[in-house]
Structure 1
Amino acid sequence: MPPAPARHRPTGLVFALASALAFGGAGIFARPLLDAGMDPIHVTWLRLAGAALLLLPVAVRHRRLLTRRPLLILAYGVFPMAGVQALYFAAIARIPVGIALLIEFLGPVLVLAWLRLVRRTKVPPAAAVGVILAVTGLVLLLEVWAGMRLDAVGVGLALGAAAGQAAYFLLSDRTGQDADPLAVIAFGSLTATVLLLPLARPWSLDWDLLATTTALGPLPLPGWSLALWLGLVSTVIAYFTGIAAVRLLSPQIAGGVAYLEVVTAIVLAWILLGETLAPVQILGAVVIVTGAFIAQTAVPGTPGPPTDTPPDPIDPDRPAALA
């Protein structure tokens, strides 16, 4: 058992905040590429391929993990890396970024449902309260009484991302201390990049879009800079700072700060994309985040925030967030 890492709250909070901001901007920087006509699966592949290339040195250094834990690497490549991100980007092509991310935040609720209904594990009353709050918030967010004004396919895709995220949490609970978290992310990115090749068919991608200037709100940016941001900032830096946050804080504190990701996404979408929420949807957003947070913290051993690398309270070396 390795010694517990030294805690340093001020630095850890900076890393946790940086991770939440980096993850929160993923949908914002992807949206101009989607609006320019790029297919969501192509945007997903570019993000994963960029991250895989940047993390290749990490994968080479930990290459023994490939033979020791091949099923773990395959599962990470399928669910959190390829599945969650592809479904999330497909969702934001049809519904607002903030709403898609809020629905994805139902991941911890789905974990609790799995534990209770499939594993027959008893969950504390506080967990049930969190589930009820999260579902109530979703009803408010979707304005169900008005016939659900959002695109039903987009909502379904976001729910699929939440399901993939729940699978990621359950995988994280079985990772073990023999797998370096950043190495798992590196191999996960490489695996997902390869697995998505038949679907993404990058040779059919309109590469000219990367050289074309697109508008991120008032900012004219070349497409390649948006793709670079997705791979470098929203994936590599986001994961790295998330891991550092958990090592410098407790997983519970880092997990709580990571919930700022959804706030970041909503604020940036409002400033840069002009996406706004109705007052009742804002109330729903608050209720969802509150319910998901309660659900996540109510069950010992349940991984933390539902964004890109949830922590395990038992293993302080696991990352803090996933989007």
Structure 2
Amino acid sequence: MNDLSRPEPEPSSGEPDSLAGSDGPVWAAARYSLITGTAFALIAAGLYGANIPAARAASQAGMPGAELIFYRALILVPLLAAAAFALGQPLRLGQTERGTMVRLAISAGLTATFYLSALDHLSVPLTVVIFYIFPLFVMLISNRLEGRRLSGKQIGIFALAFVGLVIAVGPSFAELTVKGVTFALIASCACAALFILAGRVQGPPVRTMFWLQLGQGPIALTFTLLNGGPVPLSTFANAPVAISIAMGAYAVAFIFQLVASQRISASRAGLLFLFEPVTAIVIAGLFIGETLAPVQIFGVALILAALAAEVVLDTPRLTNPATRDAET
């Protein structure tokens, strides 16, 4: 989400820092890539937002988050393999792709397992608020890996987000559990790695999704076995609609995220994905009665403002060279 994505620019136009010397068709292609990438990211964010309240409802009906992910992998792996076969897309990975795919699968598996498991212990709004500080972890990780110190602006942004987090969570402090908060924070850290790695994976989204589900299944199963699971298949009957939405919305959202990540920078994707927590909180309030007090909503607004500021300040502008030359 920060500078980490810049040393390895996205191959499919993904918001170049400069288009100087580009002709009209190149500019048009870059603009089209930006627009479609933005649209795909918003669709993914909205679907992810719908996935979270559905997973919470499934958890309340007896289907914990890790079990949901495990069963989802069992269903999706053969379906994705069949889809790849029908589309004529090979599933085999090249030697240079395997390392990145393994890291992406691990980060995706940890994100999904711990995010949805946090919903077993916390309400949707609280889980989303804690989880959605992951863009700040991206900022910290990127600075660390590149050997840079945090700037004054970045420290200010981090402080604003922390104040917002305290305001958003404070009134519900009694509802917090150590497990829930820990799971949400682990998921947040893993998601930071996921965002950093997603733009580096090339190839058909169906193939990528296949390998990620193949990796997520064992991670979720291990977590499930350590916690006395998995629950029997008959649990699906307790909340078939919620479980189906949680599985389907995630699968479609992840493909849209992968396609978007090949078209836009991690920074822009991070900004657009602020639509996810808003969607999750609104849907949770409308359908499962989990809401925030006005002061907590103000805290969420501070967090979103801090995240937006961090991304906007760090995102290079995409400028039409003809317009830039005219202005100078």
Q: Identify whether the pair has TM-score above 0.5, normalized to the shorter chain.
A: yes
Q: Answer whether contact 1:130 1:294 (CA < 8 A) is retained.
A: yes
The residue number in structure 2 matching 1:30 is 55
Q: Answer whether contact 1:140 1:280 (CA < 8 A) is retained.
A: yes
Q: Answer whether contact 1:142 1:148 (CA < 8 A) is retained.
A: no
Higher helix share: 2
Select which of 143, 147, 155 maps to 2:170. Answer: 143
Q: Describe the shift of the 1:280–1:53 C-alpha distance in structure 2 as closer, same or farther (beyond 3 A).
A: farther
Counterpart check, 1:192 vs 2:207: no
Separation in 2 of the partners of 1:300 and 1:181?
A: 25
Counterpart check, 1:74 vs 2:87: no
Q: CA deviation at 1:17?
A: 3.2
Separation in 1 of the partners of 2:230 and 2:259?
A: 38
Q: Answer whether contact 2:51 2:247 (CA < 8 A) is retained.
A: no
Q: CA deviation at 1:227?
A: 3.1
Q: Answer whether contact 1:126 1:294 (CA < 8 A) is retained.
A: no
Runs (5+) with no aligned partner, structure 1 = 215-222, 302-312, 314-323
Root-mean-square deviation (CA), in Å? Answer: 3.2
1:1-323 correspondence runs (5 A): 4=13, 5=29, 7-8=31-32, 14-57=39-82, 61-65=89-93, 67-80=95-108, 82-117=109-144, 119-143=146-170, 149-172=175-198, 175=200, 178-180=202-204, 183-200=207-224, 204-212=230-238, 214=239, 223=240, 225-235=241-251, 237-245=252-260, 253-299=268-314
Q: TM-score by structure 1 length?
A: 0.75
CA deviations 1:28-69 (Å, max 9, x no partner) are 111222112223321121233334344324666242326442
Aligned length: 287
Q: CA deviation at 1:232?
A: 2.4
Q: Answer whether contact 1:51 1:232 (CA < 8 A) is retained.
A: no
- Mean CA deviation greater in 195-204 or 151-160: 195-204
Runs (5+) with no aligned partner, structure 2 = 1-9, 14-28, 319-328
Q: Describe the shift of the 1:147–1:92 C-alpha distance in structure 2 as closer, same or farther (beyond 3 A).
A: closer
| 1:25 partner amino acid | A
Over alpha carbons, which structure has the higher Rg? 2
Separation in 1 of the partners of 2:192 and 2:182?
A: 15
Separation in 2 of the partners of 1:171 and 1:251?
A: 9
Q: TM-score by structure 2 length?
A: 0.74
